[in-house]
Amino acid sequence: EDKVVQSPLSLVVHEGDTVTLNCSYEVTNFRSLLWYKQEKKAPTFLFMLTSSGIEKKSGRLSSILDKKELFSILNITATQTGDSAVYLCAVEADRGSTLGRLYFGRGTQLTVWP
Amino acid sequence: NAGVTQTPKFQVLKTGQSMTLQCAQDMNHEYMSWYRQDPGMGLRLIHYSVGAGITDQGEVPNGYNVSRSTTEDFPLRLLSAAPSQTSVYFCASSLTSPNTQYFGPGTRLTVL
């Protein structure tokens, strides 16, 4: 049973395009949602979101969380070939009195052609 | 700080062999975890630990054992390797909460 679902699974665009990656989730005791970028190696952290409606930005990347509808989007504007990677969404959930754990989606493979 | 280190980087095993994947961190992090990543899949949690002497199972614990005798080290043991355990394994650590994890470089394991 998937707790974190990302769409699309694969996306091919040309440089300069804007892309929107989606992440929906279903977990109890939600704590935070995280986005990672993975380029043939370990994931690197992009954003952590805990509150609805507050956009986080870093350069051409931005992300927002909707805790009512249980989803998040990651936007990348003016894409570059260096943006080609797998983008992973993860949700942190509490486990009662113990510390939380992360549930990952399958990722979106983004390919940016020059 | 060396961060999170994993050894070996690559390993080939035969079915039935045992081995230990090593993970160490020098950041005094309490929270450590092991994930596996298969093609087209995200990361799946195998085991995690919230401090020395405390471990718990993740989503896919079968076939793997862990222990946490020190804060720094969190080894993952495969007692009898199976081809289904062919995967890339990532270790991660964070101070207390998994939402600030640092990932190690990964170990690519092939079981023939």
C-alpha distance from residue A82 to each of A32, A95, B93, B103 (Å): 27, 37, 27, 21
pLDDT tens profile B40-90? 888 999 999 999 999 999 989 999 999 999 999 999 999 999 999 999 999
Rounded-to-integer distance, Cα A81 and Cα A111, Å: 8
**What six digits make up the tokens of B112?**
């023939």
CA distance B56 to chain A (A): 10
* Contact call for A42 and B44, based on CB within 8 A: no
**Residue B73 DSSP one-character state:** B
Residues of A in contact with B31 (CB under 8 A): 99
pLDDT at A97: 47
Nearest to A102 among B45, B96, B105 (CB): B45
> Hey, is the C-beta of A34 within 8 angstroms of any chain B C-beta?
yes
Query: Count of A–B CB contacts within 8 Å?
Result: 61
Q: Which amino acid is at B97?
A: S
Structure confidence by residue, pLDDT tens digits, A44-90: 999 999 989 899 999 999 999 999 999 999 999 999 999 999 999 99
Model pLDDT, residue B42: 87
Query: Whole-angstrom Cα distance, residue A91 to residue A29?
Result: 10
Can you give the pLDDT at residue B89? 98
